[in-house]
């Protein structure tokens, strides 16, 4: 199963004006998603610089929605209560071969 993960920041300017504490936890967030990508649970992740407000995204490959939620809830910025998230099931139409 695949899910679109959307990381919702606490404010539209979060990516520009994080506090030192927020930045430290955001670096832990990046390490966490890098680990998930290396292990194969995340196909890709990164920031989306939408002019209406930046947000984070990932494509998750798991066996259930419960597993996707568990991965999301272990994200340091979510566990710390800084950001929230949304999950949406998705079907992969095609993947470019590298």
The reported pTM is 0.91
How does 54-67 read in b/e, with b if 16+ C-beta sit within 10 Å? bbbebbbebeeeee
Question: What is the reported pLDDT for 37?
Answer: 96
Q: Identify the band that residue 96 occupies on the pLDDT scale cut at 50, 70 and 90.
A: confident
Q: Identify the band that residue 98 occupies on the pLDDT scale cut at 50, 70 and 90.
A: confident
Identify the CATH number of the domain defined by range 2-90: 3.30.70.1060
What are the domain boundaries of the chain?
2-90
pLDDT digits over 36-75, tens only?
999 999 999 999 999 988 999 999 999 999 999 999 999 9
């Amino acid at each position: 199963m695949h899910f679109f993960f959307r990381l919702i920041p606490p404010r539209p300017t979060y990516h520009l004006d994080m506090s030192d504490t927020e930045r430290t936890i955001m670096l832990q967030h990046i390490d966490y998603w890098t680990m998930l990508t290396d292990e194969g649970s995340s196909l890709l992740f990164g920031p989306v610089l939408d002019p209406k407000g930046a947000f984070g995204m990932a494509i998750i490959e798991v066996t259930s929605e419960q597993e996707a939620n568990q991965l999301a809830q272990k994200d340091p910025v979510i566990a710390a209560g800084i950001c929230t998230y949304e999950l949406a099931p998705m079907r992969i139409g095609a993947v470019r071969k590298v």
